[in-house]
């Protein structure tokens, strides 16, 4: 087992993936909801850094969606950055700088000044010395009024997983063979240990579910999540106090599903947290919800908006539906309890958004929604954003400004997928964010752009990649059966997925 100088696992790449919560539109909504002024990310331009960017999938997509902005993606892994360079050369409009540097090397640069810095999947997986370097970088390069997105393993929820991590690490260290083989054997051993532990100590039975979750993840994910040299979980209040050294203060959750957990807390629990100061309050909430992972927004020189400023800013924001109307749940289960989406509000709100993106003020003025009031509509939108059924959208000017760069980005993603690439998100000029697509979705879209039969095209491309389609028992389908099954998938895609992709101006 080898580690880079900052403690990262070497010799096995991290998984590809898009983190939608890192989008400026999503960050702005979270801050506005809590009454803080977000960074200005309009046509005049802004600067964004993703530190520990991996393959830079998120930065690459955001660079296409915000062609007027500048993006820096920093990662120590040379293979990650090399692949990102090859992709960005064709896919991005020249506003993405990819830097193969350690954080210590990046800290020596003097040309950095950012409106947004993202540290996702970094803070808990580096040493205290490296966190001090990151704190210095953020303190020096984040502009006044700028925002830091920070994710980390949180206590108390992550405490039980420390046992799993320790066994995985020790067993992998003692193993032989390549990474996937060692990790597979280590995971099998962990499973035996936690099953025995659940029999001997019933209070540890929850670890069985965590091992089952890990069995569905790739060896790449497990290596980078659990086998770095450093792995630390923190209480939220301790992180917040540490960041005051860089003049940062906690402002809001970085993911709306975390906000829903807070909204769902029983009244008695909420009352307890209100007795604490804002920093200590976050620790109490984590204890009450047993939260094990946090995504937080910190602001440098946080500026509170007046009630009128907040409502005007929120009222001007557009929102868009992410899923077909029939996919919306009525009950929402969160870490803090259950929330109910009121049918009388949800149905007209979903119907209005199904017609296209709408501003909050526009929604509140509609006859079908006016009786509910502006605040109730905002709460309904917040619930739907927290369940990933609705998302903040770009305004019309920003949407129009990125049409060409988004079309270029998506064309390259689809072509990369045809050649076996692992990117599974396309950019939406409506959302200012990415939308997940399956391999078949991507092949059907590429066929349509070429004007050929999607089913025949998908079948040919899968064959060229050496991928077979089975009958569920492992037995490959015949050519006719394969075409029939793909035809069924294409009909489903055309009636469900394709209409939404068109609404998001992806297809």
User: Which position has the higher pLDDT, 90 or 263?
Assistant: 90
Domain match, 10 and 98 both: yes
Q: Is the pLDDT of residue 472 over 70?
A: no
Residue 424 resides in a domain: no
Residue 430 resides in a domain: no
Q: Is the pLDDT of residue 4 over 70?
A: no
Average pLDDT, the chain: 89
Q: Minimum mean pLDDT among 42-46, 67-71, 245-249, 468-472: which range? A: 468-472
Domain match, 261 and 113 both: yes
Predicted confidence at residue 11, as pLDDT, reads 55
Residue 41 resides in a domain: yes
Domain match, 106 and 219 both: no
Alpha carbon separation from 282 to 118, 156, 274, 383, 450 (Å, rounded)? 20, 12, 10, 20, 52
Domain match, 239 and 178 both: no
| Residue pair 379/414 in contact by the 8 Å Cβ criterion | no
Domain match, 141 and 176 both: no
Highest mean pLDDT among 260-264, 366-370, 472-476: 366-370
Q: What is the pTM of this model?
A: 0.89
Q: Per DSSP, which regions of 138-195 are E strands?
A: 142-153
Domain match, 35 and 94 both: yes
Q: How far apart are the C-alpha atoms of 103 and 109, rounded to whole Å?
A: 10
Predicted confidence at residue 481, as pLDDT, reads 87
Domain match, 53 and 82 both: yes
pLDDT tens digits, one per residue of 112-145: 899 999 999 999 999 999 999 999 999 999 999 9
User: Which position has the higher pLDDT, 421 or 344?
Assistant: 344
| Mean predicted confidence (pLDDT) in 89-117 | 92
Predicted confidence at residue 222, as pLDDT, reads 79
Q: Which residue has the tokens 């990662």?
A: 75
User: Which position has the higher pLDDT, 215 or 321?
Assistant: 321
What are the tokens at 489?
Answer: 């998938």
Residue 419 resides in a domain: no
Domain match, 127 and 171 both: no
Domain match, 238 and 186 both: no
Residue 431 resides in a domain: no
Domain match, 205 and 256 both: no
Q: Is 184 exposed, middle or buried (0-12, 13-18, 19+ CB in 10 A)?
A: middle
Predicted confidence at residue 149, as pLDDT, reads 98
Confidence at 16, pLDDT banded by 50, 70, 90: confident
Q: Is the pLDDT of residue 335 over 90?
A: no
Q: Is the pLDDT of residue 183 over 80?
A: yes
Q: Is the pLDDT of residue 233 over 90?
A: yes
Query: Where in the sequence is the domain holding 369, given as residue range(s)?
Result: 313-397
Q: How far apart are the C-alpha atoms of 307 and 377, rounded to whole Å?
A: 17
Confidence at 478, pLDDT banded by 50, 70, 90: confident
Residue 191 resides in a domain: yes
| Residue pair 359/352 in contact by the 8 Å Cβ criterion | no
| Mean predicted confidence (pLDDT) in 304-318 | 97
Report the percentage of the chain scoring pLDDT > 70: 94
Residue 415 resides in a domain: no
pLDDT tens digits, one per residue of 253-280: 999 888 888 888 888 988 888 888 888 9
Q: How many CB atoms lie within 10 A of CB 439?
A: 18
Predicted confidence at residue 43, as pLDDT, reads 63
We report the CATH number of the domain holding residue 268 as 3.40.50.150
Please state the domain count of the chain: 4
The H-or-E segment that residue 358 falls in is strand 358-359
Q: How far apart are the C-alpha atoms of 19 and 397, rounded to whole Å?
A: 24
User: Which position has the higher pLDDT, 309 or 209?
Assistant: 309
Q: Minimum mean pLDDT among 10-24, 226-240, 280-294: which range? A: 10-24
Q: Is the pLDDT of residue 9 over 70?
A: no
Q: How far apart are the C-alpha atoms of 429 and 412, rounded to whole Å?
A: 16
Confidence at 14, pLDDT banded by 50, 70, 90: low
Predicted confidence at residue 8, as pLDDT, reads 55
Predicted confidence at residue 442, as pLDDT, reads 95
Domain match, 109 and 37 both: yes
Domain match, 146 and 267 both: yes
Confidence at 99, pLDDT banded by 50, 70, 90: very high
Residue 410 resides in a domain: no
> Pairing mode, if any, of strands 70-75 and 47-51?
parallel
Q: Is the pLDDT of residue 439 over 60?
A: yes
Q: How far apart are the C-alpha atoms of 230 and 76, rounded to whole Å?
A: 16
| Mean predicted confidence (pLDDT) in 208-226 | 80
| Mean predicted confidence (pLDDT) in 292-313 | 96
Q: Is the pLDDT of residue 319 over 90?
A: yes
Predicted confidence at residue 192, as pLDDT, reads 86
3-state secondary structure 7-57: CCEECCCCCCCCCHHHCHHHHHHHHHHCCECCCCCCCCCCEEEEECCCCCH
């Amino acid at each position: 087992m080898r580690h880079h100088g900052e403690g990262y696992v070497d010799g096995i790449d991290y998984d590809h993936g898009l983190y939608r919560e890192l989008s400026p539109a999503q960050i702005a909504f979270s801050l506005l909801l809590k009454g803080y002024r977000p960074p200005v990310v309009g046509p005049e331009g802004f600067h964004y850094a993703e530190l520990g960017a991996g393959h830079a999938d998120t930065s690459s997509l955001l660079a296409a969606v915000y062609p007027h902005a500048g993006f820096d993606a920093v990662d120590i892994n040379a293979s990650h950055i090399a692949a990102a360079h090859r992709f960005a050369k064709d896919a991005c409009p020249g506003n993405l700088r990819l830097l193969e540097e350690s954080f210590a090397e990046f800290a020596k640069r003097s040309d950095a000044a950012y409106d947004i810095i993202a540290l996702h999947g970094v803070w808990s997986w580096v040493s205290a010395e490296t966190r001090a370097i990151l704190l210095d970088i953020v303190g020096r390069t984040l502009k006044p009024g700028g925002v830091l997105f920070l994710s980390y393993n949180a206590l108390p929820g992550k405490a039980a997983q420390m046992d799993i991590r320790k066994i995985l690490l020790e067993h992998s260290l003692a193993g032989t063979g390549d990474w996937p083989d060692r990790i597979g054997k280590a995971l099998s051993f962990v499973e035996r240990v936690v099953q025995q532990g659940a029999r001997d100590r019933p209070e540890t039975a929850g670890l069985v579910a965590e091992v089952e979750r890990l069995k569905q993840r790739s060896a790449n994910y497990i290596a980078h999540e659990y086998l770095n040299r450093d792995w630390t979980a923190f209480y939220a209040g301790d992180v917040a106090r540490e960041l005051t050294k860089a003049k940062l203060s906690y402002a809001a959750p970085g993911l709306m599903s975390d906000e829903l957990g807070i909204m769902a807390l029983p009244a008695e629990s909420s009352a307890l947290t209100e007795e604490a100061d804002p920093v200590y309050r976050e620790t109490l909430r984590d204890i009450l919800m047993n939260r094990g992972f946090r995504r937080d927004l910190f602001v440098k020189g946080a500026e509170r908006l007046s009630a009128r400023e907040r409502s005007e800013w929120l009222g001007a924001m557009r929102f868009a539906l992410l899923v077909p109307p029939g996919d919306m749940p009525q009950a929402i289960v969160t870490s803090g309890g259950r929330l109910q989406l009121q049918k009388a509000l949800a149905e007209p709100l979903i119907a209005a958004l199904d017609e296209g993106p709408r501003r909050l003020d526009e929604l509140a003025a509609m006859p079908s929604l006016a009786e509910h009031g502006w605040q109730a509509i905002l709460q309904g939108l917040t619930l739907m954003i927290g369940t990933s059924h609705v998302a903040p959208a770009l305004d019309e000017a920003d949407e129009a400004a990125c049409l060409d760069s988004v079309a270029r980005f998506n064309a390259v993603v689809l072509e990369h997928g045809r050649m076996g690439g692992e990117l599974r998100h396309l950019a939406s000029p409506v959302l200012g964010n990415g939308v997940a697509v399956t391999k078949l979705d991507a092949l059907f879209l590429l066929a349509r752009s070429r004007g050929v039969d999607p089913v025949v095209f998908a079948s040919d491309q899968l064959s060229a990649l050496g991928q077979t389609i089975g009958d569920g028992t492992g037995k490959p389908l015949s050519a006719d059966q394969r075409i029939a099954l793909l035809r069924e998938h294409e009909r489903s895609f055309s009636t469900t997925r394709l209409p939404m992709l068109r609404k998001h101006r992806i297809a």
